[in-house]
Structure 1
């Protein structure tokens, strides 16, 4: 569409395209450049957050910010929240910073400022509820951000929406600039992104969005599927085009995924089709336990690499929760199969990388208190908690309102902090020269002047060598950024890495098996996909008390996982799995049946000393009298309240006969047969 607009004389200056990851934005720009040539260079293509960061820097005066503001990541935000909780005398054991931080973030996604959120929280009956605490912390948290000339991810969107709403000339400026607006993955927009889009498109209403309600899987982070479901209501003259041809998956994969998603009621009906071949069958296997499941994955990968010449990068293992990756990591390691875990510790979160970035952030924004506290004693200068407290006290004594850096500088000049003299001198010199230097030059000077690498070299062990390589890789990353960016400044680089997602740092060209959660896998594709852990209670996750909305989102998540596969799709589950140290009997996920799949292969399943084959029931293990009759492991029963299920264990006898039943709704119960009124089916 962008190429078409450019070919028909629309100025690239008037086109805005937004998506959700840097990787997607880069791919979009690459494709547009190929289609439209040099004229595409002036099209504004970015993520929502990058767009907002750029607008805020250009309009900093109107937004009440300094243009060199720092963007705090989740870790930085949690530190500010924790400090705020302690300052307000709240128990951080009871009110965990991560939970309160999440509540504040959710409020910002709904465009609630601290005052509005406080009014909302005041209606809560319990005055010590999490809502009341979050409201108190929110107010102090924002004050601390302002003092540090910093914003978090939620602020980027909220401040731009406020800017456009409260400044009609600024709104008009951007409406006139962006007469043609395009949004990718529109089903993933939250309320703040929805409002921002409506504001920008309000004048010309020339907006094109692409999205799939069947792939709406991010409600837990504020995304609202209603934004795409009700798009025609917001823009009555909308033309809807169904993009139903699939270019990725085989017919068998599409038919299986289509069968599954058809069980969702709240969706726009569509039927995907493809010109690709029928392909191999979609396979579902149930294994004795999670160990057998992981071994099967490893053996299948190894055999396909050896027999079919597949590359390791052709394979991906999907799972519902992060905890499931551990067993696959261990098993693949034993089989000598290289792998990468997407979403594990990010490169920019490693300690040595954050140390150097701390210097760069402070040089960019001397008011950044989080960065100051991180690096004031790195490398060690003998500055501990007592000295840091004196720096903080000096910042506010005698009516002063200094930043921590200004306070330390004043103390150095007064001879009260000689330990920090070299530190202050380095930062001060960089502050004076930063406008005339590229980001990579500043980084190299910081690394040299601090002696960081020399200290690691002196340790001379495997870990220290790895940390040196990471610092060198950071410099390479800065140089790469400068070579691929029109703006090579330090603020531009810091903004870029602040908005990096897990998928952005994943390199699909490296020959590793990819281990990844289903949520992170969205937007990716692989020739061979293993979708694991298909068991009630694990996927769909949770207990039986699903709301219809939650269950439909779980089903959409499974659909997303299935449609990542290009050629081969293997689904699997375990008959028993250890959860929190306890062995749990499992029943296949309802999604298996809804996808029209049956067990094609299955390792024998051992339960205690009993062997149960794929379709086999055991002989009676315990017999009751009268109403109890014969009950045994593997038997299907029906309970008047809980519905149908399968007996997983039997104990006792006669009037004391008990059964453990895994019900089809996804939960299990231990029942006394005498009173349970069970019906055999």
Structure 2
């Protein structure tokens, strides 16, 4: 690694430099903790581009979206320094992202039906399984036929099916197999995809040689970071993209000692056996730990020797000795005593000049949080936000949960292990009074509102179109939320809790109200459930049985300058580092976890997969301990306690082994502060447009997370865009327009509206049919000249990177070959035309070297084509607008821009004190 950096690019030496320079064949980079793998990967990409490789020829997979953003930023810096701005402008065509993201994009690009599919996160998937539990027979998967246990069992086992690329038809006949077959049919009916199905379907698509040829046509270099964490399905994806099956030389980067996700499917054998499974592999070892002081490195090295089956290696030292680096305290009396001692140490460190933000407290499980938070609170030590507490531990969320339970007569408790009790209206009103500071007049109005609301929930069918999110916003008016001071950090965090609750509402509603294809008539769709008594009751039951234990509280706004101690789990700290790290609660049963290695009663026969991998092991727990040790740069503190409440507990064997490997010392004599990096702002055009329109609305929706209400017309624009894209792609591939019958068939099979009932779907499809046929009739020549659809662009300006996708690009504008015209479809403009988006895309395209001769906004509802000014002066003015907005957003300037025309239709107007509604 670097001995002496240049002004902009660190100079690499030894195997690090060799890994950057190597060409031809597969590469395995074993990168120890703190060895600078991100720098090596970034310089390798920059070197490939400098050698003449195109951005499209390089794909880099990361484990998280955050890691992807960091890697792409580093690549951009190295490319700019090595090759200049012109090369940087090409980077929008280089994919750096998660495997899930790559798979979803692959499916939407090369398997047309998936363009109308929606990805589900784990909470949304649980909501869907809850909705469909009877149809999927999920109760039968639990011995006691408990619904939510059956849902959990199904999720755990279907994850294995997907991780291991099992085919459902190959499973032995069983209730689980029946449920799985129904599950995949159900996902298709609703046009949903889980994280697991995104990868499975991408692998199946790549097994089609024609699709694989198209996907890999430009691909020459595949980079896989954190390779030790890939599961068998992801490994198969990598194998199909790599030579000899695909076209890419693959570079895998990782460390078997840091493989900590086998319990969710990853297989450490992938990295251990890579050289044996791929042909012509060259291995490079990055073993110098540049992060940690020698005492920490030596302790981690010694402990790593106890991990079975690891690749033989030892981290080398880089930093000089500089005082105490390790502290070990075995056997504080009680857990609270241990937490108090940590608080005292933090106070002492802070008095020495160590910033709070340079300190982390990392634990094996969240059950250790409570005592630590109590001790930090008593000592007035600030703590960074970050989802440490459950949402329903916050009083605001607990009251809202109790309200929905009261509406449906369901017993309520704000946690899974708290006794549920009947909620009475007077008690509920008292809670509202104390939590929201309401007066007698407020309470009287609230009481009347709640009584009327409850009477409406029993109407079947309802005489209104309920939206839980909209009803929640109606409630916020009575609570006078709009009067809260947005400049007050505490009030903003409380608003964040309210926003998180709208996520709970939206997850339930977006799944429960989701339409599906009519199995009896696939050209039509059946609407989802709409607010009858069971709609509300099922939501209340979901709250008490699932949501109270599964939704984290508000994570807080990202503030790079905020000074607070980080408190989190070791799993969540992967890839991070701090000058000072505390590792408390190292007791038997907590670390290693008492659940690790426990044999489970799977619904899939154990001989069909490596069950032990999913059940955890001492080896995996030891790797996790190694990861924890290597998060520290200057000083690490290990501690345990002897009692939990009144029950005695033994110290973890790991802290005892550490005690034998390293001598304990006092507090560090100093700690080097972390540099605060201020990366360029990376935003999508849609995000930028939302901020420019109204910064305060952007704060409420994009930063705090308030969700929009569900509306039946949602998705109409996307559905029309999909039809137009397929028509354009057909013309590009064949040189001909599709026939009227083909267009009608396409509308019949592919026009999907996620929340429309049968009548609304028919009505809006007919409306779309008229728009599409009129467009095709009037723009035949343009369609035949299709150059690209859904073309991604990235514009790199001072301090900001703006990304987006152009709907369609036509070639031969004005009859000139390679003279391109960008067209953006609008299903309705409302008479207003906003040119900034296409000016940004035209600017990005020209910087890539494309000739962009024109840009148009096409209003399909009026068949009007508006010309966008993309002259040099107009584009320069657009750049200034983008740079100014980005600078204000980075400064976190959320000054509102209220206008009645915007505010009356704004989703968050009831929680916004600046809204102009009259």
**Partners of 2:177 and 2:553 in 1: how far apart?**
28
Query: How far did residue 69 of structure 1 move?
Result: 1.6
Q: Say if 2:110 is the partner of 1:56.
A: no
Aligned residue number for residue 609 of structure 2 = none
Match of 2:176 among 129, 134, 159: 134
Aligned residue number for residue 374 of structure 1 = none
Match of 2:325 among 275, 281, 285: 281
Aligned residue number for residue 476 of structure 2 = 456
**Do 1:21 and 1:501's aligned partners in 2 also have CA atoms closer than 8 Å?**
no
Query: How far did residue 93 of structure 1 move?
Result: 4.8
The alpha-carbon distance between structure 1 residues 544 and 96, as it changes in their structure 2 partners (threshold 3 A), is closer
Query: How far did residue 338 of structure 1 move?
Result: 1.7
Q: Say if 2:363 is the partner of 1:319.
A: yes
Q: Say if 2:123 is the partner of 1:78.
A: no
Match of 1:211 among 250, 254, 273: 254
Aligned residue number for residue 153 of structure 2 = 99
Q: Say if 2:607 is the partner of 1:540.
A: no
Query: How far did residue 327 of structure 1 move?
Result: 1.3
**Do 2:162 and 2:197's aligned partners in 1 also have CA atoms closer than 8 Å?**
yes
**Partners of 1:501 and 1:259 in 2: how far apart?**
38
Tell me, what secondary structure is at the counterpart of 1:241? strand
Aligned residue number for residue 153 of structure 1 = 195
**Do 1:18 and 1:182's aligned partners in 2 also have CA atoms closer than 8 Å?**
yes
**Do 2:384 and 2:563's aligned partners in 1 also have CA atoms closer than 8 Å?**
no
**Do 2:293 and 2:633's aligned partners in 1 also have CA atoms closer than 8 Å?**
yes
**Partners of 2:294 and 2:483 in 1: how far apart?**
48
Query: How far did residue 222 of structure 1 move?
Result: 0.3
**Do 1:20 and 1:185's aligned partners in 2 also have CA atoms closer than 8 Å?**
yes
**Partners of 1:151 and 1:503 in 2: how far apart?**
26
**Partners of 2:587 and 2:493 in 1: how far apart?**
40
Tell me, what secondary structure is at the counterpart of 1:340? coil
CA RMSD of aligned residues (A): 3.7
How do 1:517-528 and structure 2 match up within 5 A? Answer: 517-528=569-580
**Partners of 2:224 and 2:274 in 1: how far apart?**
12
Aligned residue number for residue 19 of structure 1 = 62
Query: How far did residue 335 of structure 1 move?
Result: 1.4
Query: How far did residue 575 of structure 1 move?
Result: 1.9
**Partners of 2:188 and 2:72 in 1: how far apart?**
34
**Do 2:365 and 2:569's aligned partners in 1 also have CA atoms closer than 8 Å?**
yes
Q: Say if 2:647 is the partner of 1:583.
A: yes
**Do 2:154 and 2:176's aligned partners in 1 also have CA atoms closer than 8 Å?**
yes
Aligned residue number for residue 626 of structure 2 = 559
**Do 1:503 and 1:520's aligned partners in 2 also have CA atoms closer than 8 Å?**
no
Query: How far did residue 591 of structure 1 move?
Result: 4.5
**Partners of 1:321 and 1:471 in 2: how far apart?**
23
**Do 2:58 and 2:221's aligned partners in 1 also have CA atoms closer than 8 Å?**
yes
The count of aligned residue pairs is: 481
Can you list the C-alpha shifts for 1:583-617, whole angstroms capped at 9, x where unaligned? 13313424432563467489xxxxxxxxxxxxxxx
The alpha-carbon distance between structure 1 residues 504 and 559, as it changes in their structure 2 partners (threshold 3 A), is farther
Aligned residue number for residue 292 of structure 1 = 337
Match of 2:583 among 509, 515, 531: 531
The alpha-carbon distance between structure 1 residues 195 and 337, as it changes in their structure 2 partners (threshold 3 A), is same
How do 1:460-471 and structure 2 match up within 5 A? Answer: 460=480, 469-470=495-496
**Partners of 1:383 and 1:104 in 2: how far apart?**
39
Tell me, what secondary structure is at the counterpart of 2:338? helix
Query: How far did residue 82 of structure 1 move?
Result: 2.9
**Partners of 2:59 and 2:554 in 1: how far apart?**
25
Match of 1:596 among 660, 664, 687: 660
**Partners of 1:594 and 1:472 in 2: how far apart?**
44
* Structure 2 gap ranges (5+): 1-43, 81-87, 401-449, 485-490, 504-551, 599-611, 667-918
How do 1:164-313 and structure 2 match up within 5 A? Answer: 164-165=206-207, 167-201=208-242, 202-279=245-322, 280-286=324-330, 287-306=332-351, 308-313=352-357
Report the more deviating stretch, 266-275 or 553-562: 266-275
**Do 1:32 and 1:40's aligned partners in 2 also have CA atoms closer than 8 Å?**
no
Tell me, what secondary structure is at the counterpart of 1:55? helix
The alpha-carbon distance between structure 1 residues 473 and 343, as it changes in their structure 2 partners (threshold 3 A), is closer
Can you list the C-alpha shifts for 1:267-303, whole angstroms capped at 9, x where unaligned? 1111212321223231100211211111111111111
The alpha-carbon distance between structure 1 residues 226 and 152, as it changes in their structure 2 partners (threshold 3 A), is same
